[in-house]
Every structure is written in C-alpha cells, then in structure tokens.
C-alpha cells in the first residue's frame, strides 16, 4: 500500500473542492451507504459528476470548523494524547476511489481523530455509548485509506456534553476510561467498504449513470438544483403510462388514508373534550394549548426600523394534537 499525500496548506477552497471531486471522502461514505438522512447517494453522484456544486458553506459548517481546534484541545485534556493537524488530502493505491481529509493525527501512534460538533437537540444520538452511523462509516473509511490501527471520534454536544469514542482494528482492544465506548472493525469490514466505494464509483460516477431513485428529500432537492431553470417546451413521456397510473393510484390511497386519519383524530378530539390528555393502555393522546407568535406584515410595513418587535407581534393560542405509543424500553 502506497499513500499519496496532496498538500492542502496553500490550496484555495475552490481547488480543494475540485480535488475532493476526484474520489469519495469520509463524509461522502455515509451518504452512499444510505446512512446520512441529509444527503443521498444520488446527491453524491451529482456532485462528483459536476452536475451540481458541492454544498455551499453555511453557518453550521463554519461553526464546526471554528470549533474543531477546541474539540481537539478537549480531546487532549481528557485523553492525555497529543494531536497535530494533517495538512494533506490522503489517498492510497489499495483504495484509489477513497480519500481522507483528516482533522488531526495522534502523535506517537497510528491513530487519527475526527472532531464533531452537535446541537443539544441531537444529544440522543450519543446516549449509551452510541453515535451516528454515518460518523462510524467516516472513521472506518479513514482507517481504510491510512491503514492505521485506531480512530477516535470526539463529539462536542453544545452546552450538554463532551464524548470520545474509539473505533479500533485491534480485537479485544483496551477501552480507555475516558472513552464512552469502543467499536471493533474487522479487516473484512474495511475490505467490504473499499469494494463498495469502488463499485459506486465505477457503476455510477465513472459510467455517468445515476444511482436508483430512493425517495429521499435530498434526491428531490438535488434534481431540483440540476434543473432549476425551465424551458418553455414539452417532453413526450411515451411508455410512462404505467408509472403515471401508479402515481394516480397512490394519490387516491393517500387521500383515503388522510381522510381516515382525520376521522380518527376528530373522534378522539371529541373524546378528550376540554381535557389535555387521554390514556388508553400504552397509548397517550394529547391535545394541549400552545402559543405561537405571528408577525403582522401590515403593521411591520407601517413601522420604522428599530421599533420594538413586540408592537407588531400578534399572539395566537392553539391546541396541538398528538398520539404516542409507549415503547417497551420507555422514553429518554
């Protein structure tokens, strides 16, 4: 295995994005495996083939980059391990369709560190020693590219917790006391990931053929971006009668399901009357008052800049209806 190092120290963001387009990165791996609910295999294909640009920088991405150094510092404080930046994009001859853009290298051992920042709203994903599957796939892909023994994942859950996890290629590896959990990844699993990446690249990117449509919102958004400027023209959809008939049937079923759900909801609302909560076996039905602030556009237009927003805020009260079935393992 020969590792190729491409310096990114003096690269512009545009050059870096173009270099990333030539192979599958760690954040792409979770998407092509179907583990990323925000990004589909189709979106990765469209980016790699140049049909849409890479995702634009946003506030969450900016904060993640800015807090990366802080997360690395906290990792060193908790683990006692020193880390340094890796200013290279890495590829190797055994996995040519993968690349690794590493957050930190652990000094003195064949290990790396991936730094993550998460909202407190996503704290449940880190309960009980668990962490998102897409992050696991990302770390495994870095092990595949580097051939190293371990990867650490450090996650800062804003205003809530700081957690460290170990992904290791060493069977029966020691679990440091500062780790929430340790996950063993076999050589067979690493080989399987390499093959999956190669198959995806050759079958879809190299062949310029899109992956199957999967119903994900990410795929819908990607197609919309690809064809955002329409032309005044008509396309003959000859041969698509079957799928259009299926769409029509599904629309009818959806309406029937919607109306039946509304009938059930109306019946239960009548059962509750003025009560907030109803219970039945392991079901809980809630119909609670909530308040929503609505800005009056008409009033806003008549006001001057700097006026107290409270003067143009109209407060409405409504009741939110929900049905929940208790699971055997309870709720967090």
pLDDT, tens digit (0-9, with 9 covering 90-100), for 245-274: 999 999 999 999 999 999 999 999 999 999
Residue 331 — very low, low, confident or very high, per pLDDT cuts 50/70/90? very low
Q: Tell me: pLDDT of 192 over 70.
A: yes
Judge whether 150 and 134 are in contact, CB under 8 Å.
no
Report how far apart, in Å, the C-alpha atoms of 324 and of each of 72, 266, 267, 275, 284 are: 40, 16, 16, 16, 5
Contact 157, 120 (CB under 8 A): yes
CATH number for the segment(s) 3-226:
3.90.320.10
pLDDT of 330 reads 43
Q: Which residue has tokens 């032309």?
A: 231
Checking if the pLDDT of 135 tops 50, the result is yes
The C-alpha angle with vertex 269 and arms to 266 and 273, in degrees rounded to 5, equals 140
Output the six-digit token pair for 280.
Answer: 């039945």
For the beta sheet containing 95-101, the strands, ordered from the edge strand earlier in sequence to the opposite edge, are: 3-7, 88-92, 95-101
Domain segments of the chain: what residues? 3-226, 258-325
Answer with the residue of higher pLDDT: 316 or 100: 100
- With 0.85 as the threshold, say if the pTM is over it: no
What percent of the chain clears pLDDT 90, i.e. is strictly above it?
69
Confidence at residue 306, expressed as pLDDT on a 0 to 100 scale: 66
| Maximum mean pLDDT: which of 54-68, 171-185, 294-308 | 171-185
Give φ, ψ of 161 to 5 degrees. -160, 165
Sheet architecture: strand order including 283-295: 277-280, 283-295, 313-325
What digits encode the pLDDT tens for the residues 302-324? 776 666 656 656 666 665 656 56
Task: Supply the angle between the helices 133-146 and 187-200 in degrees, to the nearest 10.
Answer: 90
CA distance 288 to 308: 30
Cα distance between residue 278 and residue 29, in whole Å: 45
State the pLDDT at residue 332.
39
In the predicted model, what is the mean pLDDT of the chain? Answer: 89
Q: How far apart are CA 210 and CA 197, in angstroms?
A: 15
Rounded to whole angstroms, the Cα distance separating 256 from 263 reads: 11
At 1 the pLDDT is 76
Confidence (pLDDT) at 312: 56
Residue-level pLDDT at 30: 96
User: Does the pLDDT of residue 83 top 80, yes or no?
Assistant: yes
Mean pLDDT for the stretch of residues 106-113:
96
Residue-level pLDDT at 319: 55
Check residue 303 and report its DSSP letter.
Answer: S
Between 302 and 239, name the one with better pLDDT. Answer: 239
């Amino acid at each position: 295995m020969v590792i190729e190092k491409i310096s990114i120290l003096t690269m512009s963001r545009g050059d870096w994005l173009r270099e990333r387009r030539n192979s599958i990165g760690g954040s792409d791996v979770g998407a092509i495996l179907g583990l990323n609910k925000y990004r589909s295999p189709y979106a990765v294909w469209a980016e790699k083939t140049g049909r849409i640009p890479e995702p634009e920088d946003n506030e969450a991405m900016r904060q993640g980059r800015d807090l990366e150094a802080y997360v690395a510092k906290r990792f060193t404080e908790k683990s006692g391990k020193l880390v340094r930046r890796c200013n290279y994009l890495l590829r190797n001859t055994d996995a040519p369709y993968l690349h690794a853009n590493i957050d930190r290298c652990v000094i003195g051992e064949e290990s790396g560190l991936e730094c993550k920042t998460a909202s407190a709203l996503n704290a449940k994903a880190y309960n009980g020693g668990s962490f998102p599957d897409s992050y696991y796939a990302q770390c495994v892909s870095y092990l595949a590219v580097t051939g190293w023994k371990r990867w650490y994942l450090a996650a800062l859950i804003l205003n809530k917790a700081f957690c460290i996890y170990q992904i290791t290629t060493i069977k029966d590896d020691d679990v440091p006391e500062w780790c929430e959990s340790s996950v063993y990844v076999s050589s067979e699993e690493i080989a399987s990931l390499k093959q999956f990446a190669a198959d995806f690249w050759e079958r879809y990117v190299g062949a310029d053929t899109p992956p199957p449509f999967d119903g994900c919102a990410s795929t819908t958004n990607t197609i919309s971006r690809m064809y955002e400027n329409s032309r005044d023209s008509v396309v003959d959809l000859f041969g698509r009668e079957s799928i259009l008939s299926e769409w029509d049937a599904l629309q009818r079923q959806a309406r029937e399901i919607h109306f039946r759900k509304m009938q059930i909801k109306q019946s239960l609302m009548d059962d509750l009357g003025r009560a907030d909560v109803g219970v039945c076996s392991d079901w809980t039905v809630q119909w609670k008052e909530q308040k929503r602030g609505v800005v009056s556009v008409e009033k806003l237009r008549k006001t001057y800049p700097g006026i107290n927003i409270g003067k143009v805020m109209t407060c409405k009260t409504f009741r939110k209806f929900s049905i929940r079935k208790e699971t055997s393992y309870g709720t967090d």
